[in-house]
Amino acid sequence: MALNLSPERRAEVDRFMRGLIRRNPGEPEFHQAVREAAEYLIPFTHERPEYRHARILERLTEPDRAISFRVCWTDDAGNVRTNRGYRIQFNNAIGPYKGGLRFHKSVNASVLKFLGFEQILKNSLTTLPMGGGKGGANFNPKGKSDGEMMRFCQSFMTELHHYIGQTTDVPAGDIGVGTREIGYLYGQYMRLSGTFDGVLTGKGAAWGGSLVRTEATGYGLVYFMKEMLRTRGDGLRGKTCLVSGAGNVAQYTVEKLNGLGAKVVTLSDSSGFVYDKDGIDAEKLGWIMELKNERRGRIGEYAAKFGCEFHAGKRPWGVPADLAFPCATQNEIGRADAEALVANGVIGLAEGANMPTEPEAMDVLLKAKILYAPAKASNAGGVAVSGFERTQNSMFLSWPRAEVERRLQEVMKEIHRKCVRYGRQGDFVNYVRGANIAGFVKVADAMLALGVV
């Protein structure tokens, strides 16, 4: 909850949330994401009454459209299977809808609406012209063969292609959707549309992708932490770090932290976490990448291979460290986890995953006044480079690696500057306030200019 909210403003937020919950019943993740933002945005709209008059927040929390569709496919045993696909086109006031596709068994309208709503503010923060959207399917990729993945992706795209386009909606990857899946999706899109227009981002470098896209979210996350530390005259060198997850974001977070002289001692997946006191160096990370990206194995195998601790069914937040980077999934840090982090002396936490911190845990981190970056600021590097990929596709050229990295660093610095501008409270920077308000202002001004539509 936002700190220092007056009783009057809290009542106003509660009233707003009651209406939202009534209109969107049974969608707890969506309610959580909106409440987090509303606690900062509603008080802010009292400084800018034109936003209140135009009902910007009410309009911003209602998706432009929410599409759901059947996805039928046949598994290797010949059984016909049915899943549900979605695309939430949330807001395109500042550019075409942009946001990832998630394939996970937990996907439903609530999860995608929370992600789509956050994506509006995140995309706005990047300074690029991108609206917010999100999509996916309640499909579990675990244990699926290559052929099954391809047939599922082709069936999914056969329906989705009606709704996307270079100037309308440009999806990307997310949990369960990496380069392999983007390839199958894009292949089917090209077959159906007869165009090579780069409508998906996260493509391989040989077929329209941008260099550094794969690394971008993790690298951007570390750049953001570096900026936060700089405000306290500190740096990454020698810091002990906790990272959760072992997928795309986690892997490149570890790579960049190693590159900048920090030591990462944990990684996790849905089966538990590993604690490697000696640090997960470049060689061990290479092994993890092969395990997760090629063999699609479980994190416990790392402990067996390198002789370190494996904690089945647990999260890494009780391990003593200086910095924490949750990079797995939503709500992976509860109140007790946050209390353990603070008690162990953590000085900074930057969210790689979307909404990994539960509201009560967020309170603990804000009260402790550690350097705490919400996802919409700190993991925006991925979508920023997706935006660069779209730009390169439109121009039919490819920027060199150094050019993309330079632009990524600039974007992360700019996001940090904006968060400080709107989040400074005395000698403390509330990055949650800063990110929500800075992201909101640009979209709200565009919505005012575009009239009541």
Q: Which residues are catalytic, by number?
A: 134
Q: Quote helix, strand, coil % in the chain, to nearest 5.
A: 50, 15, 30
Q: Taking the complex as a whole, how short is the minimal distance between the CB of residue 401 and ligand NDP, in angstroms?
A: 17
**Out of 249, 349, 370, 438, the residue judged to bind ligand NDP by CB under 6 A:** 249
> Which of the residues 211 through 240 are near ligand NDP (CB under 6 A)?
217
Question: Is the Cβ of residue 45 or residue 214 nearer to ligand NDP in the bound state?
Answer: 214
435 in Cβ contact with 419 (< 8 Å): yes
353 interacts with ligand NDP by CB under 6 A: yes
269 interacts with ligand NDP by CB under 6 A: yes
**Out of 246, 288, 408, 438, the residue judged to bind ligand NDP by CB under 6 A:** 246
Question: Is the Cβ of residue 43 or residue 387 nearer to ligand NDP in the bound state?
Answer: 387
Q: Taking the complex as a whole, how short is the minimal distance between the CB of residue 234 and ligand NDP, in angstroms?
A: 25
**Out of 167, 195, 270, 425, the residue judged to bind ligand NDP by CB under 6 A:** 270
Q: Taking the complex as a whole, how short is the minimal distance between the CB of residue 336 and ligand NDP, in angstroms?
A: 16
Q: Taking the complex as a whole, how short is the minimal distance between the CB of residue 256 and ligand NDP, in angstroms?
A: 14
**Out of 45, 92, 379, 436, the residue judged to bind ligand NDP by CB under 6 A:** 379
Q: Tell me the C-alpha distance between 176 and 139, whole Å.
A: 9
Q: Tell me the C-alpha distance between 141 and 148, whole Å.
A: 9
> Which of the residues 42 through 81 are near ligand NDP (CB under 6 A)?
none
Task: Count interface residues toward ligand NDP (CB under 6 A).
Answer: 22
Q: Taking the complex as a whole, how short is the minimal distance between the CB of residue 380 and ligand NDP, in angstroms?
A: 8
Using CB atoms, what's the residue nearest to ligand NDP?
247
247 interacts with ligand NDP by CB under 6 A: yes
Report which secondary-structure segment, H or E, holds 83. Answer: strand 80-91
The amino acid sitting at 331 is: N
> Which of the residues 161 through 180 are near ligand NDP (CB under 6 A)?
173-176
Give, in degrees to the nearest 5, the angle at Cα 224 between 88 and 241: 105
**Out of 116, 382, 387, 434, the residue judged to bind ligand NDP by CB under 6 A:** 382
Question: Is the Cβ of residue 195 or residue 270 nearer to ligand NDP in the bound state?
Answer: 270
453 in Cβ contact with 64 (< 8 Å): no
Nearest to 372, CA basis, from 433, 440, 446, 289 = 433
Q: Taking the complex as a whole, how short is the minimal distance between the CB of residue 8 and ligand NDP, in angstroms?
A: 35
> Which of the residues 3 through 32 are near ligand NDP (CB under 6 A)?
none
352 interacts with ligand NDP by CB under 6 A: yes
- Distance, first Cα to last Cα, the chain: 31
Q: Taking the complex as a whole, how short is the minimal distance between the CB of residue 448 and ligand NDP, in angstroms?
A: 28
431 in Cβ contact with 228 (< 8 Å): yes
What values do phi and psi take at 81, rounded to 5?
Answer: -120, 150
Q: Tell me the C-alpha distance between 382 and 175, whole Å.
A: 13
Which stretches within 61-108 are classed as H helix?
none
Q: At what angle do helices 213-230 and 401-423 cross, to 10 degrees?
A: 40
245 interacts with ligand NDP by CB under 6 A: yes
DSSP 390-436: HHHHHHT----HHHHHHHHHHHHHHHHHHHHHHHEETTEE-HHHHHH
Q: Taking the complex as a whole, how short is the minimal distance between the CB of residue 177 and ligand NDP, in angstroms?
A: 8
389 interacts with ligand NDP by CB under 6 A: no
Q: Which residues contact 351 (CB under 8 A, 6 or more apart)?
A: 221, 325, 326, 357, 373, 374, 375, 378, 379
> Which of the residues 285 through 344 are near ligand NDP (CB under 6 A)?
327-329
Nearest to 299, CA basis, from 240, 340, 250, 367 = 250
What is the 8-class DSSP label of residue 291? I
Q: How far is CA 109 from the centre of its chain?
A: 17
Query: Which segment (5-13, 223-231, 269-277, 336-344) binds ligand NDP by CB under 6 A?
Result: 269-277
Query: Which segment (29-37, 83-91, 193-201, 267-275) binds ligand NDP by CB under 6 A?
Result: 267-275
Query: Which segment (50-58, 74-82, 180-188, 350-358) binds ligand NDP by CB under 6 A?
Result: 350-358
Question: Is the Cβ of residue 13 or residue 291 nearer to ligand NDP in the bound state?
Answer: 291
The footprint of ligand NDP (CB under 6 A) covers 173-176, 217, 245-250, 269-271, 327-329, 352-354, 379, 382
